[in-house]
Amino acid sequence: MSQFTPEQIFSRSPVIPVLIIKRLEDALPLASALLRGGIDIIEITLRSECALAAISLIREQLPQMLVGAGTVLTSADIDAVVNAGGQFIVTPGATEPLLDQLRQCPIAVIPGISTVSEAMTARAKGFYHLKFFPAEACGGASTLAALAGPLSDIQFCATGGIRPSNKQDYLALAHVPCIGGTWLTPQAAIDAQDWQQISQLAAAAIQ
Ligand code: 3PG
């Protein structure tokens, strides 16, 4: 199994779709629609019963897609994602026990932080690629810009409240190579199986 580094994950695409897959049968058409729109990386959140099955299915059927898991909260989640074939892990926050468990993880890990102190703790434990979450609620791009001063060796993926109208504010920052969000995969479009809309949203997001 080829392994990906955090650097490779951050440079794969400027936008990482964050998916909440409620029905397993939506997994392949949804991932295929994103591929057609030009995006070959996804974060599937562990917020639905079929999330792990969706990770395995997409890994098996769409090998060109890089598949990570989000909403990873516990060491049991970490093990489940690795066993499902997930290629990277994203966490919403960074408690010290979780960071210690993530250090043992065989796949790439992007811990989530929302404060300078959390970022410093993650950095001290060897993590230099972090998720800034929830980005808009925590001051948005101007907060992230301020973090670049003292934390100049850390790169961030910002998520939480990012939309087409504000995404460029983040991507304009040199230490923010990518952002993530759910806006590319509206639940109404998934329910309507409007895969074309999702391809269009993906294509527009990376323009
Ligand atoms: C999340 O983990 O919920 C993501 O950051 C997505 O946030 P969004 O729904 O505001 O895009």
Structural domain count, the chain: 1
In a domain, 95, yes or no: yes
Kindly list the distances between the CA atom of residue 152 and the CA atoms of 13, 29, 136, 141, 174, in Å, as whole numbers in the listed order.
22, 40, 21, 15, 10
Ligand 1 mean position, distance from CA 5 (Å): 23
Residue 89 lies in a domain: yes
Q: What pLDDT was estimated at residue 33?
A: 98
Shortest-distance Cα residue to atom 1 of ligand 1: 160
Ligand 1 center from residue 57 Cα (angstroms)? 23
Classify residue 79: in a domain, yes or no: yes
Query: Is residue 1 one of the residues assigned to a domain?
Result: no
153 found inside a domain: yes
Residue 56 counted as domain residue: yes
Expressed as residue numbers, the domain containing 10 is: 6-202
Looking at the annotation, which residues are catalytic? 43, 131
Omega prior to 134 cis, within 30 of 0? yes
- Chunk the chain into consecutive blocks of 10 residues (it has 207) and report each block's average pLDDT, rounded to whole numbers: 88 98 98 98 98 98 98 97 98 96 97 97 97 97 95 97 97 98 97 98 96
Instruction: Judge whether 62 lies within some domain.
Output: yes
CATH code, 104: 3.20.20.70
Q: Which atom of ligand 1 is nearest to the CA of 163?
A: 11
**pLDDT for the residue 132:** 98
**Structural domain contains residue 65:** yes
Pocket around ligand 1 at a 6 A CB cut-off: 18, 70, 133, 159-162, 180-183
